[in-house]
């Protein structure tokens, strides 16, 4: 059982960056009910601003309410750490995903579409995998709505979010994963140099034959992450990203890839490199 836990940790570590990246957010134009519209100035001249633009990605805006929604949606996925649960990290993920979604739509206007049947099946699996759903009876529509309400979400928003996530997974599978081949020598090297040394006695390690399928998945994920990161970096270099919120701009790491607003010193960063969202 020890090796199962060891390999599981390695798999989770390798997959976390990619999966966090594709926890996709519903874009601003698809969530008109995320915040009430501000009253017209002539009827409420002293009304407070209820929403604001925090970033622009190739002329597509990201609102403060989008970040709030992203942070609630993030709780649906059992990956990442609490370090990722910040508004700055949420914005990093949203910028990266927006760049990818824009490219998908350029290549195929229907590239983000998911069939209702596939969406229904995937959401059913999600309901079964969420620990909190056991106490909310998420198999029923009422129980699912009740659970989502505790996160400040609705079934409609989650369905839209999950469909986008599925589309991104499909794209990554087709663009990057399908053409990768892991050679036997690579599996053997990983086994001998990475896994076996974790045991006090090499003879205690399970056989290469037994661990080969899991090692292959780890190496495959590593290569996908590298290819995906390089591709996202190229999208950033070709596009234009501006972070307009000073607090979020100052919190962006040096490698985040986002540019500062015109009124502040430029920053070069890349949300898809290093600690990828």
pLDDT tens by residue, 163-208: 999 999 999 999 998 889 999 999 999 999 999 999 999 889 999 9
Burial label, 1 (beta-carbon count in 10 A; 0-12, 13-18, 19+): exposed
Q: Give residue 269's pLDDT.
A: 30
Query: Radius of gyration (Cα) for the chain, nearest Å?
Result: 21
220, 238, 227, 228: which is closest to 277 by C-alpha?
Answer: 228
Give yes or no for a contact between 78 and 133, defined as CB atoms under 8 angstroms apart. no
Confidence check: pLDDT of 75 > 60: yes
In whole angstroms, what separates CA 163 from the centre of its chain? Answer: 13
Q: Give residue 10's pLDDT.
A: 47
Q: Give residue 230's pLDDT.
A: 94
243 DSSP assignment: E
pLDDT tens by residue, 14-64: 444 444 454 443 443 343 333 333 344 444 454 555 689 999 999 999 999
The total number of residues written for the chain in this structure: 277
Q: Which of residues 17 and 98 earns the better pLDDT score?
A: 98
pLDDT tens by residue, 210-240: 999 999 999 999 999 999 999 999 999 999 9
Question: Residue 83 — very low, low, confident or very high, per pLDDT cuts 50/70/90?
Answer: low
Domains of the chain: 2-29+51-96+165-260 (1.10.4030)
User: What is the mean pLDDT of the segment spanning 89-97?
Assistant: 92
Q: How far apart are CA 202 and CA 196, in angstroms?
A: 6
DSSP string, 49-83: P---EEEEETTEEEEHHHHHHHHHHHTTSS-S-GG
Q: How far apart are CA 84 and CA 154, in angstroms?
A: 23
Averaged pLDDT score across all residues of the chain: 78
Q: Which of residues 211 and 6 earns the better pLDDT score?
A: 211
């Amino acid at each position: 059982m020890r090796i199962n836990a060891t390999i599981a940790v390695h798999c989770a570590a390798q997959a976390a960056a990619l999966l966090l990246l594709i926890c996709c957010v519903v874009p601003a134009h698809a969530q008109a009910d995320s915040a009430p519209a501000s009253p017209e100035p002539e009827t409420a001249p002293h009304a407070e601003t209820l929403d604001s633009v925090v970033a622009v990605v190739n002329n597509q805006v990201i609102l403060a309410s989008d970040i709030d929604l992203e942070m609630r949606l993030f709780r649906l996925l059992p990956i990442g750490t609490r370090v990722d649960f910040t508004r700055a990290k949420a914005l990093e993920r949203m910028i990266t995903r927006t760049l990818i979604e824009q490219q998908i739509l350029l290549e195929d206007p229907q590239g983000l579409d998911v069939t209702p049947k596939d969406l229904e099946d995937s959401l059913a699996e999600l309901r079964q995998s969420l620990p909190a759903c056991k106490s909310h009876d998420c198999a029923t529509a009422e129980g699912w709505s009740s659970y989502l309400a505790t996160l400040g979400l609705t079934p409609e928003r989650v369905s839209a979010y999950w469909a986008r996530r599925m589309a991104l997974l499909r794209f990554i599978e087709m663009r990057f994963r399908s053409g990768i081949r892991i050679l036997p020598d690579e599996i053997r090297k990983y086994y001998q140099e990475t896994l076996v040394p974790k045991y006090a006695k090499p003879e205690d390690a399970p056989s290469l034959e037994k661990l080969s399928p899991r090692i292959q998945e780890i190496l495959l994920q590593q290569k996908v992450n590298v290819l995906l990161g390089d591709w996202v970096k190229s999208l950033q270099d070709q596009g234009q990203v501006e972070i307009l919120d000073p607090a979020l701009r100052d919190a962006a790491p040096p490698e985040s890839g986002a540019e500062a607003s015109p009124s502040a010193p430029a920053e070069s960063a890349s949300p898809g490199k290093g600690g990828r969202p």
